[in-house]
Amino acid sequence: MPASARQRCHAVLSGLLTLATAAVVSFAAPAPASAAEIWNETGSDRADPLTESQGLASVEVPANSPNRYTGIGTIPIGLSARGWNHVGDPDASYDGHYIEPYQRDSGNAKMYRVQAPGGGWSEYVHTLSPGEALNNSWDAISPDGQWMLSGEWGTMDRLLVFPTPGVNPATSPSANLPQASTVHLDHPVRDVQGCDFSGPTTLLCSSDDPDGSLFGMTKPLLRVDLSAAPNGTADVTGHVTALRQLPLRSSCSGSFEVEGIDYDRRTGVLRVIVVSPGFCVLTDSKTYKFSRG
């Protein structure tokens, strides 16, 4: 083959290789592949639309404590009168501190309401950092109890880290609750309604994503693997994986809303609230249960 022909052939092959490589990268980019971790549905309970429609938490201390739920009907009148009219998905620490996240319709702050193991309540207000969204959908307490993660509504590539109010000695109800660090996600997430630690560096999260373009499915159960346990002094990264679509079953047709999530460390049971569309919000909204396959 003449040199000029070889050069032309080489140029064509190089161009095809470049296109093929770009196609593979483009194909792989939209979402991480589903992980080997499988969560099988094992049952469900009706979720009351007033008192069990926002979030839930298993409480380990004191022993035999009932599961806790949040909904519009669980917001104390005094809080609502002061503008804290939305409660999100709560969590509880190993030592029995129970924390509910609250938000207002406007302003520059969000609030975490803490119940100590002895039963007393206190409020910790966080003034928004520059660029931080107002909403306060959930909180998740690290297994060591010292750090609390929280997230923002919409399409986000980060989670926020705070010292755990009422547990970390650096916090006080009379002082602003500061953001300590950030979890930088390697893949964007959308409309996360709850997260819970299933291990020192692993989160399971419920997403109300109605679009489906991020992971090839709507309303996914997500797993976030952290590069290190949060310590409040340095940012960490989080690898995001979509595990499965959450159940969307109802006698009514329309838009479902995925809500809070809880991983019970004592039993290994995962629970997620899914609110049914239309009138069926009253009749067949469910808290679904899952076990690891």
Question: What is the chain's pLDDT, residue by residue, as a tens digit (293 residues)?
Answer: 433 333 333 343 344 333 333 333 333 334 444 456 999 999 999 999 999 999 999 999 998 899 999 999 999 999 999 999 999 999 999 999 999 999 999 999 999 999 999 999 999 999 999 999 999 999 999 999 999 999 999 999 999 999 999 999 999 999 999 999 999 999 999 999 999 999 999 999 999 999 999 999 999 999 999 999 999 999 999 999 999 999 999 999 999 999 999 999 999 999 999 999 999 999 999 999 999 99
Q: Is residue 4 part of a domain?
A: no
Sign of CA dihedral 74, 75, 76, 77: negative
**pLDDT computed for residue 202 by the predictor:** 98
**pLDDT computed for residue 13 by the predictor:** 33
Instruction: Find the domain containing 118 and state its range.
Output: 36-292
Pick the closest to residue 230 from 166, 183, 176 (CA basis). Answer: 183
- What 31-34 contacts at long range (C-beta under 8 Å, 24+ apart), as own/partner pairs, is 31/187, 31/214, 31/215, 31/216, 31/242, 32/187, 32/215, 32/239, 32/240, 32/241, 32/242, 33/241, 34/241, 34/242, 34/243, 34/244
Q: Is residue 28 part of a domain?
A: no
* CATH code for position 156: 2.120.10
Pick the closest to residue 238 from 172, 170, 186 (CA basis). Answer: 186
Quick one: DSSP state of residue 279? G
Tokens 């290789």 sit at which residue? 17
Q: Is residue 126 part of a domain?
A: yes
| Residues 290, 120: Cα–Cα separation, whole Å | 33
**pLDDT computed for residue 5 by the predictor:** 36
Strands 139-141 and 147-150: antiparallel
**pLDDT computed for residue 16 by the predictor:** 33
Q: Which residues pair with 160 in a beta bridge?
A: 150, 182
Pick the closest to residue 288 from 246, 245, 243 (CA basis). Answer: 246
Q: Is residue 169 part of a domain?
A: yes
Q: How many domains does the chain have?
A: 1
Task: Look at phi and psi of residue 107 and say left if phi exceeds 0, alpha if psi is from -120 to 50, else beta.
Answer: left
Q: Is residue 9 part of a domain?
A: no
**pLDDT computed for residue 17 by the predictor:** 35
Pick the closest to residue 112 from 147, 67, 81, 143 (CA basis). Answer: 147
**pLDDT computed for residue 4 by the predictor:** 39
pTM, 2 dp: 0.88
Q: Is residue 14 part of a domain?
A: no
Q: Is residue 174 part of a domain?
A: yes
The answer to whether residues 146 and 168 touch, using CB atoms and an 8 Å cutoff, is yes
The answer to whether residues 147 and 230 touch, using CB atoms and an 8 Å cutoff, is yes
**pLDDT computed for residue 21 by the predictor:** 36
Q: Is residue 200 part of a domain?
A: yes
